[in-house]
Homo-oligomer: A and B are copies of this chain.
Amino acid sequence: MQREDLGSLVGRITRRLILAEEPLLSRHELSMWEYGVLTHLAKEPAANQLALATAIGYDKSRLIALLDGLARDGLVVREQDPTDRRNRQVRLTPAGESRLAAVRAEIHAMEDELLAGLSAADRRALIRMLTDLANG
């Protein structure tokens, strides 16, 4: 058979993932982008909002409303950077952490199911290779 494009493969996988994640996320009242923000903040608090936007590949002008919503729900807080008052540092609240932990557990369970056909070694290899590709 003709070799299939990497882009096509990845695209089909993306569609499957979105299909599987959307119901989990909406049950916890989170959009895909909100989940992305929470996930990124769990890794490291954002020094400022521009850095957060570029890190997750989202539009900086759009991020504002997204953070407004998350802050209103008490999942994140914006705090002035004492060393540079132009910056708003963004970090998870305890409520944000627990909301994220709940969704994330379900998403990981879903992923495990998706990868159930692979051996443990294959799975490790896959994650390693994907990580390398993602990080360029």
Contact = CB atoms under 8 A, between A and B. Distances in A.
Contacts of A114: 6, 133
Interface stretch (A66-74, A80-88, A118-126): A118-126
Q: Copy number in this complex?
A: 2
B7 A134 contact: no
A13 B11 contact: no
Given A2-B43, A3-B108, A43-B2, A13 B57 contact: no
A130 B9 contact: yes
Nearest to A3: B108
Contact of A118 (B17, B127, B129): B129
A42 to B, nearest CB: 7
